[in-house]
Chain A
Amino acid sequence: MLLARLRAGDQAAFRTLVRARHGRLLRLASAFCRNRASAEEVVQDTWLAVITGLHGYSGEAPLAAWINGILVNKAKTRAVRDGRMVAFSDLARAETAGDTFEPERFLADGHWAERFSPWDALTPEREAGDRQLLAGVAEALERLPPAQRAVVLLRDVEGLDSAAICQALEISEANLRVLLHRARVKLRDAADRLVRPR
């Protein structure tokens, strides 16, 4: 078992854990930190806490969830210390104001003003191998307002459950869903532009 091997100081087990989790931790951290350098520091601090905390960890929560929890705490503490923590509840308020869709996307009777044609150009091969397309999608994610970006990273990319996200970001379930919806609408629009042959 991984935990027992880690506690016994097994190097290979630790390397396996790092390979599996490091990228994900960096991504989680980047939901809280605006720049890469501070996200990397938060991840570094998290690994340190994991190493020193292994013996005290009860094993009750799954290992990944325990590590994620440490990371969220570190990220929040650091953001507060750096004085650049805008509360997500404030961001959420700003980012859920106004309309999700521009009014001109619908006709007066509520029908779509546009017709969606299937993404036939998006073959599975292209989806797996078109670096330009995937880089474009990653860029669209970067351009999202911070709270929308955070929820889409935590929910859609990392698959955390809603309750955990609401707790970490200190927002309501209703806010979470509006933020998620707006983020997904923008991602679809961005993908639509990228998928179509120019």
Chain B
Amino acid sequence: MKDAFGLPQSLLVLGGTSEIALATARRLIIRRTRTVWLAGRPSLALEQAAEGLRDLGADVHTVAFDALDPDSHEAVLGKVFAEGDIDMVLLAFGILGDQARDEREPLSAVRVAQTNYTGAVSAGLVSARALQTQGHGSLVVLSSVAGERARRSNFIYGSSKAGLDTFAQGLGDALYGTGVHVMVVRPGFVRTRMTSALPEAPLATTPEAVATAVELGLRRRSETVWVPGALRVVMTALRHVPRAVFRRLPI
């Protein structure tokens, strides 16, 4: 069960090797979390991630999960929930894609969309139903500022995150009053392997900062969290920049 500060005792990570997710898991284990499920594509990295969290004293399990195989989500996640209540699901999987290549190769663009959007729709709905049956829990969704407004430089990724973000907001409204809390997290540029090949953007931040923001959001039962917080204001301004100007901005 979550405590008065919204801290979970059990955590399910979808995208078990995500650097942001693991920073969050480490933070939560230091606080209260005892049981962690890392769901992801089987790999050495996934096992190493589990080992790292065990060193912090948590009871950690790994489970094979592929966002691109929605047919399996019901069974895979069903097994996890059958083992006991999950106080928090962290939906962290996602791929950035390669904008230039994805424009050339529609199938690789579709892969971005299927991972980030339809994969999340499926896993999100399955998780939401299980949480609702429990009558409690938080579903924390890693969206992105990239979904806030389409940018020339990454609109394929951005549009998948826009879909995810809208989906998660609606799900939060659908679950209002059911004991289940949905929190949409919109980080800006986070220094992880996902962004290691990119030039650093303004207001760049760290996985640890996202973890801190998630912890605060849990306590406040926030519905939307920006990391860093200043992005909320920045994006509010950018939203109103005319298209003709926005298109030419170096972002």
Tell whether A pairs with B: no
